[in-house]
């Protein structure tokens, strides 16, 4: 029985991480249109810039491209090498971050992820991820997931932003399932 459970755990981690990758990818696309701080960060990315987040060896991933109008587009497939790739070294490392047991910044500090590309854009992306997590997660969870929870974020603003982001995610899933 114990051995059987050990075989199931990696499959569960992978399924969970893949689901979270989809949520995060869609969440970034949505939050960029809703949150001024995230929009400002992504406005500094050049048009056509492609970034991805994945788990080695390409087990789970999302890829996003910055459009000419500075909006984000989730890509299903690209033959072009991303300008920035953030890669978790192991599925368990991604699970730790996506289950909010370790912040993205702490995962970088613990050498659980690598960035291939311009480090200044990687830092901007992490700030966007932290802001998005602050918006969509309950404060008690977000405080563990991000480097510093924004003090200025009111419950009303958080609830409004989170509902818009989750609505966008749900709509995009509904469109894909049709």
pLDDT at 5 (0 to 100): 47
Residue 62, SS3?
strand
End-to-end CA distance of the chain: 40
- Provide the token pair at 124: 């901007």
59 CB contacts (<8 Å, ≥6 apart)? 14, 17, 18, 91
Q: Are 134 and 128 in contact (CB under 8 A)?
A: no
Domain ranges of the chain: 2-177
Q: Tell me phi and psi for residue 52, to 5 degrees.
A: -140, 160
Q: What is the homologous superfamily of the domain 2-177 according to CATH?
A: SCP2 sterol-binding domain (3.30.1050.10)
Could you read off the pLDDT tens digit of each residue along the chain, which spans 178 residues? Answer: 445 445 667 788 899 999 999 999 999 999 999 999 999 999 999 999 999 999 988 778 899 999 999 999 999 888 889 999 999 999 999 999 999 888 888 888 899 999 999 999 999 999 999 999 999 999 888 888 888 888 889 899 999 999 999 998 888 877 776 6
Q: Which of 115, 114, 124 is nearest to 45 (CA)?
A: 124
Q: What is the CA radius of gyration of the chain?
A: 16
Q: Are strands 61-66 and 113-116 parallel, antiparallel or unpaired?
A: unpaired
């Amino acid at each position: 029985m114990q051995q059987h459970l050990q075989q199931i755990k990696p499959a569960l981690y992978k399924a969970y991480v893949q689901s979270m990758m989809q949520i995060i990818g869609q969440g970034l696309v949505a939050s960029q249109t809703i949150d001024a701080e995230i929009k400002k960060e992504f406005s500094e990315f050049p048009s056509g810039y492609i970034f991805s987040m994945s788990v080695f060896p390409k087990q789970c991933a999302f890829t996003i491209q910055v459009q000419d109008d500075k909006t984000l587009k989730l890509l299903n497939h690209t033959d072009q090498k991303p300008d920035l790739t953030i890669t978790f070294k192991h599925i368990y490392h991604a699970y730790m971050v996506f289950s909010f047991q370790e912040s993205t910044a702490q995962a970088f500090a613990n050498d659980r992820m690598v960035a291939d590309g311009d480090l200044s854009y990687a830092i901007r992306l992490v700030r966007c991820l932290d802001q998005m997590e602050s918006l969509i997660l309950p404060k008690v969870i977000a405080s563990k997931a991000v480097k510093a929870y924004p003090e200025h974020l009111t419950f009303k603003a958080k609830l409004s932003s989170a509902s818009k982001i989750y609505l966008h995610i749900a709509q995009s899933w509904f469109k894909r399932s049709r």
